[in-house]
Structure 1
Amino acid sequence: MDQAITGWINGPAGENAMLDAVMLALTEFGVPALILLVVLQWWRSGERQHARHTAVVAGLAFLIGLGVNQLILLFLHRMRPYDAGVSHLIISPSADWSFPSDHATASFAIAASFLMSRLKRLGAVFLAIATAVCISRVYVGTHYISDVAGGAVTGIAAAVVVGLLYREGTRLDRAVTSIL
């Protein structure tokens, strides 16, 4: 089923220039755009301290999620779908293993952090972007659908753990969110 869904999403790759351009832009600029949007929350008007706290949670979840991915990659060596003949690659090949997707981890860590806060509308926007980034990673041929699902789980788990451990209003949080 993993290969079938991956093949279905990747199937149109290389056949429609407009769709390819959108997916390539999402895969290249989606995570940097999310990071920029998180950084801009530092200067948000209204609920500034809460927005800053949420931005810190998102940043920590992002880093921890990617760190967990590196540990997983030490033990799981999954071949990329284009190497297995499952997908047609329309970007440069990756040098590392396929599972889990760092793009999915990063984008879902950010989205989950905002969805767990009182900034749910912004979280919904981040979730839509994260989902589009994940689909783009399969579309361009570099990941199986389960790779992005695994990355999303890692990102969400990191956001939950950070959200539970880094509490809003603590002395540390007040010190960090008062910077600038």
Structure 2
Amino acid sequence: MDQEITRWINAPAGNYAALDMAMVAITRYGVPLLVLLVVVQWWGRQERPHLRHTCIAAGLSFLVGLGFNQIVLLFVQRVRPYDAGISHLIIERSADWSFPSDHSTASFAIAAAFLLHGFKGRGSALLIAALAVGLSRVYVGTHYVTDVLGGAATGIVAAMLVCLLYREGTRADRLVTGIL
């Protein structure tokens, strides 16, 4: 089923120039743009200490999620779908294993951090962006659907862990959120 859904999402790749350009742009620039959106919010005026705490939590979630992925990669070495003849690749080849998707991990970690800290509007917008990043990774041929789901899971778990361990209002939090 994973292979069939992956084929279905990847099927239009290479046939529609405008859609290809959009998906390649999302896959290349989606995560950096999400990071930039988090950085820019540092100077937000509403709920400044809470927003800054959430920005730090999003960054930590991003890093913890990618750390989880490195541990998973020690045990799971899944071949990329283009190497298995499942997808048609329209971007450059990746050097690492397919599962889980680092792009999805990073995107969903950021979105989950904002949602878990009560920023429903911003978190929902970031979640839509994370879904677009995940979809783009399958469309361009570099991931299976379950790679994206696995990346989303590690990102969300990382955000939950950071939410539990990085407490707002602690001495360290006040020190970091008071910068600039």
| TM bucket normalised to smaller | over 0.9
Shift of 1:51: 0.6
Return the alpha-carbon distance in structure 1 between the equivalents of residues 92 and 46 of structure 2.
Answer: 42
Query: Are residue 47 (structure 1) and residue 38 (structure 2) matched?
Result: no
For structure 2, the residue ranges without an aligned partner over 5 or more in a row are: none
Within 5 A, what are the aligned runs for 1:1-180? Answer: 1-180=1-180
**For 1:151 and 1:100, how far apart are their aligned partners in 2?**
5
Structure 1: how far apart are the matches of 2:46 and 2:6? 42
CA distance in 2, matches of 1:120, 1:51: 12
**Aligned residues: CA RMSD:** 0.5
Deviation at 1:123, TM superposition (A): 0.4
Secondary structure of the equivalent of 2:87?
coil
How many residues are treated as equivalent by the alignment? Answer: 180
TM-score norm. by structure 2 comes to 0.99
Could you list the per-position Cα deviations for residues 86-134 of structure 1 after superposition, in whole angstroms to 9, with x for gaps in the alignment? 0000000101000000000000000000011121100011000000000
Structure 2: which amino acid aligns with 1:120? K
The alignment partner of 1:103 has SS state of helix
Q: Aligned partners of 2:73, 2:29: CA distance in 1, in Å?
A: 24
Separation in structure 1 between the aligned mates of residue 47 and residue 152 of structure 2, nearest angstrom: 28
| 1:63 shift after superposition | 0.3
Deviations 1:147-170 (A, max 9, x none): 000000000000000001101111
Which residues of structure 1 form unaligned runs of 5+?
none
Please give the alpha-carbon distance, in whole angstroms, between the structure 1 residues aligned to 2:119 and 2:40.
14
TM-score (structure 1 length as normaliser): 0.99
